[in-house]
């Protein structure tokens, strides 16, 4: 076999290799010469310490600003009237049964109204954990507004004048 040989003469045009369409990645190389200045790393940002005067007149606005950012305590006012709740607690002990009407729903339970003999209404809370086993996702899955159900009195909060009940 004879290999093909291409003869190039000075007058003949030179053939170039076809150009590639894919760009090649080239790593950046930094040449350091002995005469070149050395680059320093950027300085770290450090908070400067400033002396704060401690006079009470100067600190008072700062204290007010800090206190204003604190969360406001929710108003924990009593839910039911004092006399009506006393009579409710007198006749109903934890563990006793009460009949109540479903009044409204919350994100985690329902509010029910217990009507006393005097005609007074006591608002009680029925959490979803006390409505079924396992607890339903919503109280609306078990109860309907306006329905009357038998509940068991679970606990009484004398400070807030409210009671917690569970479905029998």
Q: Give the pLDDT band (50/70/90) at residue 100.
A: very high
Which domain CATH number covers 113? 2.40.50.140
Q: How confident is the model at residue 41 (pLDDT cuts 50, 70, 90)?
A: confident
What does DSSP assign to residue 84?
A: H
What local confidence, expressed as pLDDT, does residue 49 receive? 65
Please check whether residue 105 lies inside any domain of the structure: yes
The answer to whether residue 66 sits within a structural domain is no
Residue 142 lies in a domain: yes
Q: Decide if 28 is inside a domain.
A: no
E strand map for the chain: 97-106, 109-115, 121-127, 148-157, 162-167
* Count: domains in the chain: 1
Q: Determine the structural domain holding residue 93 and report its residue range.
A: 82-167
Instruction: Report yes or no on whether pTM surpasses 0.85.
Output: no
Element spanning 83, H or E: helix 82-91
In the predicted structure, residue 150 carries a pLDDT above the cut 70: yes
| pLDDT > 90 in the chain, percent | 52
In this model, does residue 35 exceed pLDDT 70?
no
Which residues are CB-contacts of 148 (< 8 A; sequence separation ≥ 6)? Answer: 99, 100, 101, 102
């Amino acid at each position: 076999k004879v290999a093909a040989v291409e003869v190039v003469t000075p007058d003949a045009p030179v053939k170039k290799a076809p150009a590639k369409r894919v760009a090649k990645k080239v790593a950046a190389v930094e040449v350091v010469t002995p005469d070149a200045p050395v680059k320093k790393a950027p300085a770290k940002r450090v908070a400067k310490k400033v002396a704060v005067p401690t006079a009470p007149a100067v600190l008072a606005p700062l204290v007010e600003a800090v206190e204003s950012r604190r969360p406001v305590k929710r108003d924990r006012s009593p839910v039911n009237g004092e006399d009506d709740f006393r009579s409710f607690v007198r006749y109903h002990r934890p563990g006793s049964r009460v009949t109540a009407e479903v009044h409204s729903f919350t994100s985690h339970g329902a509010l029910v109204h217990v009507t006393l003999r005097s005609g007074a209404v006591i608002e009680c809370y029925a959490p979803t954990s006390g409505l079924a086993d396992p607890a339903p996702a919503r109280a609306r899955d078990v109860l309907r507004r306006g329905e009357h159900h038998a509940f068991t009195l679970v606990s009484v909060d004398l400070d807030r004048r409210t009671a917690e009940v569970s479905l029998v």
